[in-house]
Every structure is written in C-alpha cells, then in structure tokens.
Structure 1
C-alpha cells in the first residue's frame, strides 16, 4: 500500500519512552517526520524529545500538550499509545489497580485527545488509537485492561463521529507483544502464556504507520492475519470466541498454571468442582 510522505509531518506520541513508543518514534523520525513524545518516565536515551507528563493529571496534560505543540508548530498526527496492564479478575471488586488502568488507558487517552482537537482540526489531521485485541475479545483475569481498551474504542468511535469531517480516527488492534506491560500480571501468577500468542513488534509499528500515513484513514486495523480473523469472529460470532477462550482457560487451570495465584483462587476452585462432578458422572 502506498503511504503518504511523512517528511515534515508533526507527530505527538504518548507513552513515547515505552516499547511501542520508542520503536514508532524512531521509524517516523527516519521517514522525516518531526516527533515529540509524552511519557510519565522519559529516558535519557529516548530517540526524540519526550516531555514528562502524568496522563492522569487533568492540569498537567493540557500544559504538556501545549508545550509539545509549541515545539512542533502544530499537529498532524496524534498516536495514543500509552497504556498499562495488570491483574484484575472480573469477579473481584475494583480497587486501585482497576482505577489506575482505566484512568491511564481510557481517560488519559481522552485528556490528550481533547487537548489536541483544535490543532488536529486546523491541520485536517489524524488520530491513531493503539487499542488491543482485548477490546473485542476479552481474556479472563484481566478485566480492567479489556474494559479500558473497549471503552477506548467507544471513545474513538464518538470522536470519529464528531470530528470525522476534519479528522481521521483509526483504531489499531495488536495482540500480545513481549514488553514490560505484562510484568505485573506475571508477578501475580496470572500470566496468560498459552492463551495468547506473541506477535512481532515490527508488525505493530507497520500497522500504526499504515493508520497514520494511508491516504485515507482506515477505521479499524488488526496487526496480523490471525488478528483479522479474531476481530471478525469476535464481532460476528461472539459465542464461538467465548467458547474457544473458555476452553483454553480451563485447560490452563487444569495444567496448574494458576495454582499459586491468590487472585485466581475462585476460578481454580470452580474448575475443580466441575472436574470432580464430571469424574463422578463418568464413574456412575
């Protein structure tokens, strides 16, 4: 596919010091774009200028965006890439972990986008939302992440309807990429290894570039062929995808993957009850 020349395009990336953000910034810079980032923890070796910004701060976000736009001289492309994950079973009451994920993944995206709207309207610009496959196909034990990404897509849909005459809005749906975003879930003993196959970072970067630089903004973009199939099934055959995920989850529980995970104790107990009942019926 032919992509627009990125030379001189003014780009703002959130989460710019993370795995996705750094790779995307380097690629866009190599194509001639002018790129500035926002991140809560900029790194000394960031390939671009990264402004320190806590996306949960209602006051800090507009100020940081204003600083970025002043440096860029306007804005052509906003990439809402910042996001966090973490353990959050749906059966447990929401606590600080859940609020943190919603505040960063959903409301952080909303704060930054709102601050950028005037500049994007003026340039007839584009917004790229780095969502997730979990926005359409939820995995167990990570309810906050899936809920935040599904809400992020709903926000993108509303933004597209409101600004679509002037601004393109695209949602990109990566699956799992090896990065520190999975560390807290693994530490809690809730790793979803075996439930989600990893994809290369390069494919995600290429898809974000396609969203940002296509002549016309696509609406939704999976990052792999498998992702395209999953997106289709999740939207058109949701009961089938539920069964596939549930079967895989049960298999992971039986393998002992969550045996030491306190947060998964309920799921483990329920699976044991079902297995015991099935064994009794088989012996009867």
Structure 2
C-alpha cells in the first residue's frame, strides 16, 4: 500500500464508495480501510467477501439510493468523502439511434452519480467534505464506437462543475480521469468484436487509487486529477488542442479498419464500409 503523507492521511475519515464490489471500488475500499478510514460501500451486487461493509444499492432507483445512503450514513456517523465510482460501459456508436444500451449507460454513469450525491449533500456540507468523481479520459478525449460512455462521463464532469459552483464554499469537488484499467467493464466491448488494442493502453490500478487518494484527502481540493503522465499529456492536448487529438484518434481508427481489425464487429460496420468505400 502506498504510504500517504499527512496531507493525505485517511485515518478516521468516513468514506462512502459506489461500485464498491468492482475492480477499482473494492481495491480502494480495501486500501483505505487498511489505512484507518471508516469505509462503507454501495453496489448492485455485493459479493459478501469485501473487507469492508457493502450495502446493496441500485443507483438507477431513487428509493434504493435513499435507503442505502441513509443506512450507510447512520453506520458511519456522517460523511467526509463520497467517491462516485459506479459506472458501466459498452459499444454504442454515435451514428446509430440511441437505444437501451445508451440509456443504461447514461442512467448509471450520470444519473446514478447525481442521485447518490444528492442523497449525501447534507452530510457532506456538515462535514466540509469532498466529492470525488471517477470520470474517464473519455470525458475529454472521446474514442469512437463508445459514444454513450464518453457522453455520460463528459456529462458527469459537467455535473461536477455545477456542484462545485453550488457547494464550493463547503464541499470540495474533484474529477479523476483514468484511462483504461483491466476490469469486467470491458467485457461487453470485447464480446462485440471490439477491443482497446491500438486505441488505448491499460494503466496500473495503483495509479488510479493514488489519484483518488489525492483528490479525496489533499489539503486543498484539486479540480481535475489525472492518473499517469501520459494521461496528463492527453488531458492537456484534448483541452487545448482538440483538433489535433481528433486527427490522432481518427487516424488510429482508420488504420485499424484498414488492417481488418474491426471486421465482423457489428458496431463498427459503418466505419469499415466507409473506410473501404462501400458505403
């Protein structure tokens, strides 16, 4: 476990983590518990063997969120840090009309975050606490064939911006921008015949946990926190030279299509046809 300095000391802090049974949430909760924080988690499907209490919660359901958050806050005796980590992804090309998959991702990634945060606001204000949004590099640097995920994460950051303006006198609000971590969230994309190969690079989980720790426990809240040096460069370019990053991503996509890497992947059928001049 990374040793935290005094400005990042989680001992005694009351922390609530959504998506707490998944790859990032479980590892974060385990790390913070070992460091002396009081941690509770929320998850749609708790495994029951997490090293900290995890309550069942469906972030797409108003009543489920209210009940689970109330139970967690009662057990914790308040709240110092909310980590909005629950999220989902999957292929959703921008050229096709939005269907159930698009609505699912928006409901979980954006509205689930909104519901959970709203249920925690009073406790966070009372504690002069922190909200940490586990966003994504795709909130600033969109990748093709995953429009719903990028749109939901960009909207999540917009929500964080509004929340910061409204609560900033009492609550710090930070966004963390991981790239890709090996986890089941990528299973549906792989099953659709797509992969991150050539478009993204997996990064170490430890770096993501370090970034969330900085956002949660630094003396002064950071607005935006990247997780790797490469991520910091991508974040800067996407914010300040978006036309350049568009060209880089488009070139990588076209190269993959030309090489046949997207053949047979239904979500990429339009890209492949246009690349070969058959559409």
Query: Per the shorter chain, which TM-score range?
Result: over 0.9
Offset from partner CA, 1:129-171 (integer Å, 9 cap, x none) = 0000000000000000000000000000000000000000000
Shift of 1:6: 1.4
> 2:99 maps to which residue?
95
> 1:257 maps to which residue?
261
> 2:80 maps to which residue?
76
**2:104 is aligned with 1:63:** no
Gaps of 5+ in 1: 277-284
State the alpha-carbon separation in 1 of the partners of residues 115 and 219 from structure 2. 27
Task: Tell me if structure 1 keeps the 8 A contact 2:8–2:213.
Answer: no
> 1:281 maps to which residue?
none
State the TM-score, normalized to the length of structure 2: 0.97
State the alpha-carbon separation in 2 of the partners of residues 114 and 249 from structure 1. 39
Task: Tell me if structure 1 keeps the 8 A contact 2:48–2:54.
Answer: no
**2:211 is aligned with 1:211:** no
The one of 225, 232, 257 aligned to 1:228:
232
Gaps of 5+ in 2: none
Shift of 1:31: 1.0
Shift of 1:191: 1.5
Q: Please give the secondary structure, in 2, of the residue aligned with 1:12.
A: strand
Which has the larger Rg?
A: 1
**2:30 is aligned with 1:23:** no
Aligned residues: 275
State the alpha-carbon separation in 1 of the partners of residues 266 and 11 from structure 2. 51
> 1:178 maps to which residue?
182
Please, which moves more after superposition, 255-264 or 240-249? 255-264
The one of 56, 60, 74 aligned to 1:52:
56
Q: Please give the secondary structure, in 2, of the residue aligned with 1:127.
A: strand
> 2:199 maps to which residue?
195
Q: Please give the secondary structure, in 2, of the residue aligned with 1:110.
A: helix
Offset from partner CA, 1:40-84 (integer Å, 9 cap, x none) = 000121111100010000111011100100010000000000000
State the alpha-carbon separation in 2 of the partners of residues 203 and 6 from structure 1. 17
> 2:148 maps to which residue?
144
> 1:9 maps to which residue?
13
State the alpha-carbon separation in 1 of the partners of residues 143 and 52 from structure 2. 34
Runs (4 or more) in structure 1 with deviation over 4 Å come to none
State the alpha-carbon separation in 2 of the partners of residues 254 and 221 from structure 1. 35
State the TM-score, normalized to the length of structure 1: 0.95
Shift of 1:2: 5.0
Task: Tell me if structure 2 keeps the 8 A contact 1:105–1:152.
Answer: yes
State the alpha-carbon separation in 2 of the partners of residues 4 and 231 from structure 1. 24
Shift of 1:4: 3.3
Task: Tell me if structure 2 keeps the 8 A contact 1:83–1:104.
Answer: yes
> 1:280 maps to which residue?
none
The one of 250, 253, 266 aligned to 1:246:
250
Shift of 1:5: 2.3
Shift of 1:193: 1.4
